[in-house]
C-alpha cells in the first residue's frame, strides 16, 4: 500500500511543499507548491525575523497544513534553514508556527543542508564518477558540495545568501561597477576555503540547483526557444548563455529585468547579486560545463527517507 509523505522546506526566500506517494517499487509526486514568503526580508542583516515575515510564514504553513490534511499523509517533515538558524528569535518563531499550525519545523545547520542538497541533486542527475561542484544559492546561505555519484567529497555552507548580498551591496539600480567590485572582494575573502577545495579536486562541471539557477535556465530557454518538460529533473543552461544573461542583468533596472522573458518577480531583486556570485566562481575556476538540477533539499530529504538513511 502506498504511503504519502509531505516535505516542507522553509527557505529564506521561498517555502516549498512536496507531497509524494511511495511503495516498494514506485514513487509518485502528488503535489508541488512554492510560495515567496521572503522571511528574511527586513531583518536578515540584523539577525531577526520581523513580525510581518512571521505572519507570512504562519499563513503559508497553515495553508500547507490544509493541503496536507486533504492527502493520506503518513509523515510530515518540515525543515528551516539559514534565516531561522541565524535569527535570535528563530526558535521563538518555530514555536509560534507550531502552536498556530500544528507543524513542527526542524531547524537544520548548514552542513546538514548541504548534505541533503547533494542527495537531491544526486537523485536528479547522473553526476558521473568525476568530481563535480554543486552550488545552491539561497537567500540566507549558499551551499557548495564537491562530490561524485553517490559520494560527498567535501561540503560547506556559507552565510552569503542573495538577500544578505542584496542588503550589503546592491544599493543602486542598475548595480554600479563599484558595488560589483566590493561584492567580489567580499566573496573572494569569504570563499577562500572553497577555492582551496576546487584547487584540490579540480571539478570540471558546475551543477546549480534551486531558484536562481531555475530562473537563469528559464531565461536561457526563452532566448533559445527551448521547451522543457514539466517534470524534468535537469533543465538547460550553457556557460556562454549564462554570460550573456549576466551582462543583461547587471546593466538593467528592476523594471527592465522584470521584462526579460522567463524572469520571475520573486527573483528580480536578488538575481543580480546571485548572478555576480556565479560569475565570480566561473572566473576563479576553469569549469567546462554548466548543468542545472530542478531538485535540491526537499528532494534530498525524500531520497534519504526512501533509502532508509534519514536522520
| pLDDT digits 0-9 by tens, 109-152 | 999 999 999 999 999 999 999 999 999 999 999 999 999 999 99
Q: What is the average per-residue pLDDT within 90-108? A: 98
Q: CATH 3.30.420.150 region(s) of the chain?
A: 125-297
The confidence score (pLDDT) of residue 200 equals 98
Model pLDDT, residue 270: 96
pLDDT for residue 43: 87
What's the pLDDT score for residue 118?
98
Identify the band that residue 22 occupies on the pLDDT scale cut at 50, 70 and 90: confident
By the 8 A CB rule, do 166 and 270 touch?
A: yes
Q: Which residues pair with 20 in a beta bridge?
A: 5, 29
- Return phi, psi of residue 262, to 5°: 100, -15
At 218, is the pLDDT very low, low, confident or very high (cuts 50, 70, 90)? Answer: very high
Supply the pTM of this predicted model: 0.96
What backbone torsions phi and psi does residue 133 show, to the nearest 5 degrees?
-105, 125
**Do residues 132 and 148 make contact, with C-beta atoms less than 8 angstroms apart?**
yes
Q: Cell numbers 535569527 label which residue?
A: 87
Cβ-based neighbour number of residue 221 at 10 Å: 18
Answer yes or no: is pLDDT of 159 > 70. Answer: yes
Q: Alpha-carbon distance 73 to 3, whole Å?
A: 7
CATH 3.30.70.1710 matches 125-297: no
47 secondary structure, DSSP code: T
CATH 3.40.250.10 fits 3-108, yes or no: no
Residue 307 has pLDDT above 90, yes or no: no
Rounded to 5°, the CA angle 143-35-118 comes to 25
pLDDT digits (tens, 9 = 90+) for 228-283: 887 899 999 999 999 999 999 999 999 999 999 999 999 999 999 999 999 999 99
Inform me whether the pLDDT recorded for 25 exceeds 90.
Answer: no
Terminal alpha carbon distance of the chain: 24
Measured CA to CA, the distance from residue 272 to residue 50 in angstroms comes to 24
8 Å CB contact between 38 and 188? no
Q: Helix crossing, 51-69 with 90-101: angle to 10°?
A: 40
For residue 47, pLDDT beyond 70? yes
Say how far residue 33 (Cα) sits from the centre of its chain.
15
**Is the pLDDT reported for residue 39 higher than 80?**
yes
Domain with CATH 3.30.420.40 in the chain: 3-108
Neighbour-count burial for 38-51, b at 16+ CB within 10 Å, e otherwise: bbbbbbbeeebbbe
pLDDT value for 27: 83
What cell numbers appear for 243 in the block?
554570460
- The answer to whether 82 touches 90, Cβ cutoff 8 Å, is no
Q: How confident is the model at residue 45 (pLDDT cuts 50, 70, 90)?
A: confident
Q: Measure the CA–CA gap between 147 and 43, rounded to whole angstroms.
A: 34
- The confidence band for 1, taking pLDDT boundaries of 50, 70 and 90, is low
Amino acid at each position: 500500500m502506498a504511503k504519502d509523505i509531505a516535505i516542507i522546506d522553509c527557505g529564506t526566500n521561498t517555502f516549498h511543499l512536496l507531497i509524494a506517494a511511495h511503495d516498494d517499487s514506485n514513487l509518485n509526486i502528488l503535489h508541488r507548491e512554492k510560495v515567496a514568503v521572503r522571511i528574511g526580508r527586513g531583518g536578515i542583516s540584523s539577525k531577526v525575523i520581523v513580525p510581518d515575515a512571521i505572519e507570512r510564514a504562519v499563513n503559508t504553513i497553515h495553508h500547507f497544513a490544509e493541503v496536507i490534511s486533504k492527502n493520506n499523509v503518513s509523515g510530515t517533515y518540515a525543515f528551516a534553514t539559514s534565516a531561522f538558524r541565524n535569527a535570535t528569535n528563530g526558535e521563538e518563531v518555530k514555536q509560534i508556527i507550531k502552536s498556530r499550525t500544528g507543524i513542527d519545523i526542524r531547524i537544520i545547520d548548514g552542513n546538514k543542508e548541504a548534505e541533503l542538497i547533494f542527495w537531491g541533486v544526486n537523485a536528479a542527475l547522473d553526476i558521473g564518477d568525476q568530481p563535480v561542484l554543486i552550488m545552491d544559492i539561497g537567500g540566507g546561505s549558499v551551499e557548495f558540495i564537491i562530490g561524485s555519484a553517490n559520494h560527498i567529497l567535501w561540503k560547506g555552507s556559507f552565510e552569503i545568501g542573495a538577500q544578505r548580498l542584496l542588503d550589503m551591496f546592491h544599493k543602486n539600480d542598475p548595480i554600479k561597477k563599484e558595488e560589483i567590485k566590493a561584492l567580489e572582494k567580499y566573496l573572494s575573502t569569504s570563499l577562500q576555503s572553497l577555492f582551496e577545495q576546487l584547487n584540490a579536486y579540480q571539478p570540471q562541471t558546475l551543477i546549480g540547483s534551486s531558484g536562481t539557477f531555475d530562473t537563469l535556465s528559464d531565461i536561457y530557454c526563452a532566448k533559445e526557444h527551448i521547451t522543457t518538460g514539466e517534470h524534468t529533473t535537469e533543465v538547460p543552461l550553457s556557460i556562454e548563455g549564462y554570460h550573456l544573461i549576466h551582462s543583461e542583468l547587471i546593466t538593467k533596472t528592476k523594471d527592465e529585468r522584470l521584462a526579460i522573458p522567463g524572469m520571475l518577480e520573486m527573483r528580480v531583486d536578488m538575481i543580480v547579486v546571485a548572478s555576480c556570485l556565479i560569475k565570480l566562481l566561473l572566473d576563479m575556476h576553469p569549469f567546462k560545463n554548466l548543468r542545472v538540477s530542478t531538485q535540491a533539499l526537499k528532494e534530498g530529504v525524500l531520497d534519504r527517507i526512501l533509502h532508509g538513511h534519514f536522520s
